[in-house]
Amino acid sequence: MYRLTNRPQCPNELLLRLRAATNGQIILVRYSQFVVCERLLDYRLNIGNIVFGNGFNGKNYGTWYDSQASKSDCFILVANDLADSQMCPFQTSSEKKCEEGGGWWRKHCQQKGVLTAMNKAQGAYPGLVWNGQRLSAVQMLIRPRGYIPPQKKPTKF
């Protein structure tokens, strides 16, 4: 991740595509920057501000949609559950004593915004949660910030 995200000539952005377990709605959260710092800095996470899409200004949003989600199915949450991860070192599950494995930029496995923990709720563990909503699926996508996807060609029948 460090090598992929640390190219000064090619800054990256991060999109979180999260599915709410209760109603299946898609939560999209886009960050303006995503960098994993070098080993000497314990691979600290450096994320930018949340960039809001067409729910707020109608720009820079539609290119992230894919065939699995239409604009009418999506909504945007203002919550930044990754704020506590900003500039935290990466820690493995053994360092945090997590039973289910994984790693994240937090001190505890069950803190909000930890998106690599076990998804299944068990006992006191609520499963993956974002802004108080239980999640059934998580996708974390990065791409160069200046990337412009090619235009779709109309299909011929």
Domain ranges of the chain: 2-144
d(CA 136, CA 18) in angstroms, rounded, equals 8
> In terms of pLDDT, which residue wins out, 36 or 115?
36
Does the global pTM surpass 0.85? Answer: no
Q: For 59-118, what is each residue's pLDDT tens digit?
A: 333 333 443 444 444 344 445 666 666 566 566 555 555 555 555 555 555 555 556 666
* The pLDDT of residue 101: 53
Cα separation values, 152 from 74, 126, 148, Å:
21, 41, 12
Closest listed residue to residue 109, CA positions, set 19, 100, 81: 100
